[in-house]
Structure 1
Amino acid sequence: MTWHDAREIGEALFDQFDTINPLTVRFTDLHKHVLNLEGFAGKAHESNEKLLEAIQMAWYEEWKDEYGS
């Protein structure tokens, strides 16, 4: 996985943090969570706000499907 795999990352984050509403997670924390995912091969400096937002939205879609909102 790299920063451009928003859907896959979102699913992995939901698997790991399923009860957290992704919209409450700061981008600095999201960045750390992504870097710590098993199988993530991206580099810290390769991310940007647009990529983090796409990841957060993919995670939110997974969360919303489970918990509704």
Structure 2
Amino acid sequence: MGLRWTDVQDIAIELDEAHPDVDPQYVRFTDLHQWVCGIDEFEDDPESSSEGILEAIQMAWIDERD
């Protein structure tokens, strides 16, 4: 089974590997949403995200980077 919006930590790891030169602290949610939906293993409905989910992914990505 692929990644879903609730797989925050796994998504953060994928984003960190795909965008090593990006500072996740400054990523716009519109870009973050697009990047998550572009992950090969991502299989959830793009419309089921929310600002809270995107914020959680961003925070997990920041933690992953640290």
Q: What band does the TM-score fall into relative to the shorter chain?
A: over 0.9
Q: Give CA-to-partner distance per residue, 1:27-54, whole Å, 9 cap, x none.
A: 0000000000010011111000110001
TM-score, normalised to structure 2, is: 0.92
Paired residues for 1:26-37 under 5 Å: 26-37=28-39
Residue ranges of structure 1 left out of the alignment (5+ in a row): 65-69
Residue 15 of structure 1 is matched in structure 2 by 17
Which whole-Å CA distance do the structure 2 matches of 1:35 and 1:14 have between them?
15
TM-score computed with the length of structure 1 as normaliser: 0.88
CA RMSD of aligned residues (A): 0.7
Hey, which bits of structure 1, 4+ residues long, moved more than 4 A? Answer: none
Aligned length: 64
